[in-house]
């Protein structure tokens, strides 16, 4: 049995497609962390590329390219894939930001746990909210959005037809700013009550000087936080549902900006 002969043009086109897919997989929250073995990520990247390559072959370069031109094109494809992947990364960063702020305000500043996804210590509350966000991400099949956006991107923006000097970078900076707003929105109800609790404890300390407010504040703030987290869980889920549902529109706006 003879193996099929692959032309240089086909190999280069497959490599271009592979780089765009690899950059996207490398930034998705589910696969970019350390808990996903490198072999799994590499296998998923190659398998996904083999699946979509026949669908997008017509949009890829048909002629062979010089090494320098190919390297420039591959670099641009990698940057494009990173931009698409960071649309979801911004949401998870906002979730982590909100959880970190809550953890510090409730007195869990030293109660950090190891996050295998990012390979670092994070707040206990932040880790809980991050896992919840991943579950919502999977339950809404948002990873399907990325696969669909990846295929559509080859039709809307064939390799080499992007322009990073346009409105893409300002648009990503705008989304990065909204990340902080989302983080505050996720933590605002709990922060407001904790600030009120601190005010009440401060008044009690002035009225009853013999009262040990420092020891009283820890169990009180922790209890209030866990109670409010249970009461506002539906609000958090609704906010994340809205953010994840807006990803398709953000894909379109990013492609138009490029």
In a domain? residue 133: yes
Q: Is residue 147 part of a domain?
A: yes
> 228 in a domain, yes or no?
yes
- The DSSP code for 33 is S
pLDDT top residue among 118 and 164? 164
- Report if residue 1 sits inside a domain: no
Q: Write out pLDDT tens, residues 189-239.
A: 888 888 888 888 888 878 777 777 777 778 888 888 888 888 888 888 888
List strand residue ranges (DSSP E) for the chain, in order: 112-115, 120-123
Nearest to 28 by CA among 77, 89, 83: 89
Which residues span the domain enclosing 131?
Answer: 8-257
Mean pLDDT of the chain: 79
Can you tell me the distance from the alpha carbon of 2 to that of 140, in angstroms, rounded to the nearest whole number? Answer: 45
Strand partners, 123: 112
CA 240 – CA 217 distance, rounded (Å): 31
Q: Does any domain span residue 16? A: yes
Overall number of domains in the chain: 1
Backbone angles phi, psi at 113, to 5 degrees: -125, 160
Decide if 2 is inside a domain: no
What is the tens place of the pLDDT at every residue in 149-192?
888 888 887 787 777 777 777 888 888 888 888 888 888 888 88
Residue 210 lies in a domain: yes
Run of H or E including 242: helix 233-245
Kindly state the average pLDDT of the residues 95-108.
80
| 3 domain residue, yes or no | no
* 63 — pLDDT class (breaks 50, 70, 90): low
């Amino acid at each position: 049995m003879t193996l099929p002969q692959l032309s240089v043009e086909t190999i280069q086109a497959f490599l271009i497609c592979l780089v765009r897919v690899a950059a996207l997989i490398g930034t998705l929250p589910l696969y970019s962390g350390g808990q996903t073995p490198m072999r799994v990520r590499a296998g998923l990247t190659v398998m996904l590329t083999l699946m979509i390559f026949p669908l997008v072959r017509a949009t890829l370069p048909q002629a062979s390219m010089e090494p320098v031109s190919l390297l420039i094109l591959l670099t641009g494809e990698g940057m494009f894939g990173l931009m698409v992947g960071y649309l979801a990364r911004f949401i998870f960063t906002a979730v982590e930001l909100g959880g970190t702020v809550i953890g510090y305000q409730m007195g869990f500043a030293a109660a950090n746990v190891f996050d295998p996804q990012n390979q670092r210590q994070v707040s206990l509350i932040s880790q809980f909210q991050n896992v919840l966000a991943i579950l919502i991400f999977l339950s809404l099949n948002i990873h399907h959005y990325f696969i669909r956006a990846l295929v559509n991107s080859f039709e809307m923006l064939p390799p080499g037809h992007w322009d990073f000097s346009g409105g893409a970078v300002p648009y990503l900076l705008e989304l990065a700013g909204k990340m902080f707003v989302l983080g505050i929105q996720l933590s605002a109800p709990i922060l407001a009550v904790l600030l009120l609790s601190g005010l009440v404890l401060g008044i009690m300390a002035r009225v009853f000087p013999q009262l040990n407010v420092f020891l009283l504040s820890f169990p009180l703030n922790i209890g209030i936080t866990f109670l409010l987290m249970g009461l506002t869980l539906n609000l958090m889920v609704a906010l994340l549902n809205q953010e994840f549902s807006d990803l398709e529109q953000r894909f379109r706006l990013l492609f138009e900006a490029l």
